[in-house]
Amino acid sequence: MSNKIRAKITGLGRYVPPRVVTNDEIAKMVDTNNEWIVERSGIHQRHWVEKGTPTSELAVKAIEQLLEQRGISATEIELIIVSTVTPDMMFPSTACIIQNRIGATNAWGFDISAACSSFLYSLTTGAQFIETGKHKKVLVVGADVMTTIINPEDRATIVLFGDGAGAVLLEPTGEGEEGLGILDFRHEIDGSGGEHLYMAAGGSLHPASHETVANKMHFAHQNGQQVFKFAVRKMGELSAAMLDRHQLTGDDLSCFIAHQANLRIIDATANKIGLAPEKVIKNIHKYGNTTAATIPLAIGDAIEEGKLKKGDLVLFAAVGAGFTSGSVLARWAY
């Protein structure tokens, strides 16, 4: 291993709203049932915010938990990167709102929009500032209130999504930690897939108007079959490529944490890289797809279940609207 400085995750905070929405409740809203949802997605329930709750509120609660766990003040944070497709507003950025709310008076920041891949994109971006020595403490947040952009009459999306937030702290590795931290990343985009998962209105192409509201253009639209096919292929490809690049196999991994979009996608990827079932972290049954929050929420479950410990080799993978995709290889540091 190289002796270069690497970025390591040193703390984690998570938050989901208290309201739990079961599949049976969803079945009262659209033509579906619990068995159909579980069979197609693996989801049993999801957490939804109360109306009027912004993304920043969930993010702040996760960050507060992180700061308490790490035992540091918000004034020590130098950079805030927020992963979200449901910002509080078009501008200012949600990073600005969070910075003010938590009192991170010495931090700058920005948002990253890469849908379900955005937490990994943000993790990789934050790591660069640590590796160059420019920053010592970088806050990476994944937070989305997907219920604000989901059509309650659309069976294709309402069964899938939940609300949640997670935050991690990145810091540099120290003496004796040369093999720990974020080891490598591989990210891609395929813009031709944008037509299969998108929200048409609200930007400069279709500014908000009576027409865009009437035509339900402010809701997420998904071609589920095309998204599923791409996700199964691409998540498996990137995961296998990452292992090949480091002369590793699934046996070398202690833990695999994928974006929690669909249980069948996660299982297909795990099978492709030869992973034992006990190494695959799954919590989609509890939270549904929380977009940018799924991976930090799953990290917390992996730690609580004793499946992610200091020194463990972990592979992260995600695919999202865009299409975006990515994988990150890390040696866990705490």
CATH of the domain at 11: 3.40.47.10
Confidence of residue 208 (pLDDT cuts 50, 70, 90): very high
Residues 168 and 189 in one domain: no
Residues 189, 136: one domain? no
| Assigned domain for 1 exists | no
CA distance linking residue 76 with residue 136, whole number of Å: 9
- pLDDT band at 17; cut points 50, 70, 90: very high
How far is CA 128 from each of CA 78, 115, 184, 185, rounded to the nearest angstrom? 13, 21, 11, 11
203 lies in the same domain as 168: no
Sort strands 138-145 and 79-83 into parallel, antiparallel or unpaired. Answer: parallel
What is the domain extent for residue 305?
Answer: 181-331
- What radius of gyration, in Å, describes the C-alpha atoms of the chain? 19
Same domain as 208, residue 141:
no
Q: Which residues form the catalytic set? A: 116, 259, 289
**What pTM value is reported for the model?**
0.97
Q: Which of 237, 257, 139 has the alpha carbon at shortest distance from 186?
A: 237
Residue that terminates a domain, selected from 126, 144, 172:
172
Domains contained in the chain, number: 2
Q: What is the pLDDT of residues 182-196, one digit of tens each?
A: 999 999 999 999 999
pLDDT tens-digit readout, 217-269: 999 999 989 999 999 999 999 999 999 999 999 999 999 999 999 999 999 99
